[in-house]
């Protein structure tokens, strides 16, 4: 695919995912640059200037930042945990070489129109990493993935990261289509996608391919 360069965008942004989130569900405050690289802190806002939906949230919001070398140990803790990798790839934990290959690809600042180029983001809560959202350019779409440590499952973190991804990724990669590959036994992953309008299409190599696209679903 010959992807076009992403349009210029604000260097830093802040985004609260999910419009009207329910109490105790995760929301995301997002800091990113158009190339997924250097992030600057979002401007602080006084409480009175915050949207009403934000003030309703009792759990601290998530902050999504571009994946950084300092996040590699956190990612490694998940990639080496069999509970996390159970439905990822061949189901086995990742060895150090695989972790290095994938994280190095995520950290290299390659052009966004290059096939296989990745941009990863780490979600933080109270300055602690609580999840990683990954995106990779494929032939005709951008593939997403999401990792949350088991002690944080069920808190809406994956959902909030995906909500943010649906805002960022189309603009970042200049694409209309996001895909995800999900093991049919990974009920939480399937649920978090279908709740956000992803449609399952075909099963390839034992994985269900989910598609989301900007605008009406065309049934690809």
Ligand X SMILES: CC(C)(COP(=O)(O)OP(=O)(O)OC[C@H]1O[C@@H](n2cnc3c(N)ncnc32)[C@H](O)[C@@H]1OP(=O)(O)O)[C@@H](O)C(=O)NCCC(=O)NCCS
Contact positions vs ligand X (CB under 6 A): 84, 87-88, 145-148, 153-159, 180, 182, 186-189, 191-192, 195
Which CB, 72 or 78, lies closer to ligand X? 78
Contact yes or no for 93/81 (Cβ under 8 A): yes
CB of 207 vs ligand X, minimal distance in Å: 8
- The nearest distance, CB 10 to ligand X, in angstroms, is 27
Question: Which residue number, 68 or 87, has a Cβ lying nearer to ligand X?
Answer: 87
CB of 123 vs ligand X, minimal distance in Å? 9
> Of 173, 178, 75, which Cα lies nearest the Cα of 132?
75
Min dist. Cβ of residue 188 to ligand X (A): 3
C-alpha to C-alpha distance for 160 and 60, rounded to whole angstroms: 13
Q: Distances from the Cα of 71 to the Cαs of 68, 74, 126, in angstroms?
A: 5, 5, 15
Taking the complex as a whole, the smallest distance from the CB of residue 7 to ligand X amounts, in Å, to 29
Residue pair 169/30 in contact (Cβ under 8 Å)? The answer is no
Sign of CA dihedral 83, 89, 92, 98: negative
Nearer to ligand X, 104 or 185 (CB): 185
Specify the residue, 17 or 117, whose C-beta has the smaller distance to ligand X: 17
| Residue (111 or 154) nearer to ligand X, CB | 154
**Interacting residues of 192 by C-beta distance below 8 A, sequence separation 6+:** 146, 158, 159, 162
């Amino acid at each position: 695919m010959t992807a076009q360069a992403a349009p210029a965008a604000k260097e830093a942004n802040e985004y609260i995912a999910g419009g009207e989130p329910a109490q105790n569900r995760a929301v995301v405050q997002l800091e990113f640059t158009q190339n997924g690289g250097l992030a600057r802190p979002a401007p602080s806002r006084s409480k009175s200037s915050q949207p009403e939906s934000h003030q309703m949230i009792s759990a601290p919001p998530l902050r999504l930042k571009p994946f950084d070398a300092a996040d590699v140990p956190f990612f490694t803790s998940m990639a080496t945990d069999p509970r996390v990798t159970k439905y990822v790839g061949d189901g086995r934990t990742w060895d150090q070489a695989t972790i290095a290959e994938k994280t190095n690809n995520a950290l290299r600042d390659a052009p966004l129109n290059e096939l296989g180029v990745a941009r990863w983001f780490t979600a933080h809560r109270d300055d602690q990493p609580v999840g990683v959202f990954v995106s990779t350019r494929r032939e005709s779409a951008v593939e997403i993935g999401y990792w949350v440590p088991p002690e944080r499952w069920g808190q809406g973190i994956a959902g909030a990261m995906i909500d943010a991804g649906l805002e960022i990724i189309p603009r970042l990669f200049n694409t209309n289509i996001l895909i995800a590959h999900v093991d049919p036994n990974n009920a939480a992953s399937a649920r978090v996608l279908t709740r956000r309008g992803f449609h399952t299409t075909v099963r390839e190599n034992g994985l269900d391919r989910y598609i989301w696209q900007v605008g009406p679903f065309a049934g690809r």
